[in-house]
Amino acid sequence: MEFKHKPVMLEECIRGLNIKKDGIYIDGTLGGAGHSKEILKNLSENGLLIGIDRDEDALEAAKQNLKEFKNVKFIKDNHDNIKNILDDIGIKNVDGILLDLGVSSYQLDEKNRGFSYLGENQLDMRMDKTQSLTAQEIVNNYTEEDLGNIIYKYGEEKFSRQIAKNICQYRKNKKITTTKQLVEIIENSIPKSKQKDGHPAKRTFQAIRIEVNNEISPLYNTIKDCIECLKSKGRLCVITFHSLEDRAVKNAMIDAKGKCVCPSDLPYCVCGAKTLGKIITKKPIIASSIEQEENSRSKSAKLRIFEKI
């Protein structure tokens, strides 16, 4: 199995983590280990990398990619459980955490994973293949209203209601089991004149993938948990690819930074505002124009960095 995945904003992430050679670092979205490999290159043999991923295939690929390194621990789990993960391995705090959110190139390309709207594959979209909820379950059993809401909210699709309506009409006669079936329904739901901005199924597939893997709802609390797990001067780097992801990360970092709400005429703070640290990136970092040309996935990427006090 070949796990192709070009790490987005690699140099920016390594700089952002401000790596200490003997430190402990977490890659909470291990994937093919492109970011992790560079982190390990900056660690001494006394340092440690903890690689977390809920995709078993990703973990196996990462183990092969990082086989030259001895100071790495692989964990099959969800980064949303970061506090429990550290408790289980007896580590209280770490020097840095990286989260590269979204779907990997391998997951898009691998047959029968159902992430891609290209070709004809089983409609699945699970990052963790042991979970029960699949894309097939969603498109065949969610109500028309729920489908429309998901496609609009997570995909920002203007034709969400028509797509949801047509999905429900189609499934009355035949179960939707493949990506090709779903793509055809979507294409028939959007006027041809409006199908000029990329593939017409892109936004709907993104929305269903987010719903299958519950990518947005826990994110705010995950960011707060990650910050709490950092040592003093430790850093959290988060790459997002969706406006809702970025909003959740931004809000969590702002709240972790804290803000005094006392009237300006008071000589000192009485509101009890507390801060966990500072936001390093006043504005999110985006990929260079060269990287965006070489790696289309980086075009929508935003990197935010937080430093623990």
Domain ranges of the chain: 10-102+216-308, 107-213
Question: From the CB of residue 231, how many other CB atoms can be counted at a distance below 10 Å?
Answer: 15
pLDDT for the residue 291: 95
Q: Would you write out the chain's pLDDT as a tens digit for each of its 309 residues?
A: 455 557 999 999 999 999 999 999 999 999 889 999 999 999 999 999 999 999 998 899 999 999 999 999 999 999 999 999 999 999 999 999 999 997 766 666 666 688 888 888 899 999 998 999 999 999 999 999 999 999 999 999 999 999 999 999 999 999 999 999 999 999 999 998 888 778 899 999 999 999 999 999 999 999 999 999 999 999 999 999 999 999 999 999 999 998 777 787 888 778 777 889 999 999 999 999 999 999 888 999 999 999 999
Distance separating the N- and C-terminal Cα atoms of the chain: 42
Superfamily of domain 10-102+216-308: Vaccinia Virus protein VP39 (3.40.50.150)
In the structure encoding, which two tokens stand for residue 105, read together?
């190139």
Which residue in the block uniquely carries the two structure tokens 């041809």? 192
pLDDT for the residue 272: 75
CATH code of the domain occupying 107-213: 1.10.150.170
- Residue 131 C-alpha from the chain's centroid: 18
Give pairs for 199-204: CB < 8 Å, separation 24+.
199/117, 199/118, 201/117, 202/117, 203/151, 203/155, 203/156, 203/157, 204/151, 204/155, 204/157, 204/160, 204/163
CA distance 259 to 147: 38
pLDDT for the residue 196: 78
pLDDT for the residue 135: 96
pLDDT for the residue 109: 61
CB half-sphere exposure, 163, CA atoms < 13 A: 30
Question: Are the C-beta atoms of residues 184 and 190 closer than 8 Å to each other?
Answer: no
